């Protein structure tokens, strides 16, 4: 399982916006420079975040992006979902009838990988954007 650069950059940029947008919106060019992320790539990510209503934009001079709700109300899993980043550890195909083996049955280790997906999903759900802004991203007690 691998988290893509899109997922890592989306979380990183959201933390940056949470830190730097107070009363005024945060310019993506500034985020791009501070975090060393390509501006066109960042713009595509923020289009997805805006569609998911995690950020709102303001056009014109002094424009940019700000969080659409408090950083303590945005879970990291929401960011992953907004950019269509899947937490997938099982080997199952997209067809739910095929399962892991492609023959309509689950592989012998399916439960292990499914539990791992659930554990990661629950962990990302337990961490808010504000936790990362404050540096509180230690492993929490979570259940599968």
In a domain, 104, yes or no: yes
In a domain, 118, yes or no: yes
In a domain, 13, yes or no: yes
Beta bridge partners of 26: 65
Interatomic CA distance for residues 117 and 119, integer angstroms: 5
In a domain, 141, yes or no: no
b/e sequence 91-102, b meaning 16+ C-beta within 10 Å: ebeeeeeebbee
Q: Is the pLDDT of residue 102 over 70?
A: no
CATH number reported for the structural domain that contains residue 62 in this entry: 1.10.10.10
In a domain, 75, yes or no: yes
In a domain, 25, yes or no: yes
* Domain range for 13: 5-134
- Whole-model pTM: value is 0.84
pLDDT digits (tens, 9 = 90+) for 47-85: 999 999 999 998 888 889 999 999 999 999 999 999 988
């Amino acid at each position: 399982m691998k988290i893509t650069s899109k997922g890592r950059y989306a979380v990183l940029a959201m933390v940056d916006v949470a830190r730097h947008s107070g009363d005024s919106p945060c310019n993506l060019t500034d985020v791009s420079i501070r975090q060393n992320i390509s501006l066109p790539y960042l713009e595509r990510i923020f289009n997805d975040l805006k569609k998911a209503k995690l950020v709102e934009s303001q056009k014109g001079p002094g424009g940019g992006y700000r969080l659409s709700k408090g950083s303590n109300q945005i879970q990291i899993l929401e960011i992953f979902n907004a950019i269509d980043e899947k937490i997938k550890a099982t080997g199952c195909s997209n067809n739910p009838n095929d399962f892991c083996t492609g023959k309509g049955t689950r592989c012998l280790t399916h439960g292990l990988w499914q539990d791992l997906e659930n554990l990661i999903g629950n962990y990302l759900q337990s961490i808010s954007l504000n936790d990362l802004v404050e540096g509180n991203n230690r492993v929490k007690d979570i259940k599968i």
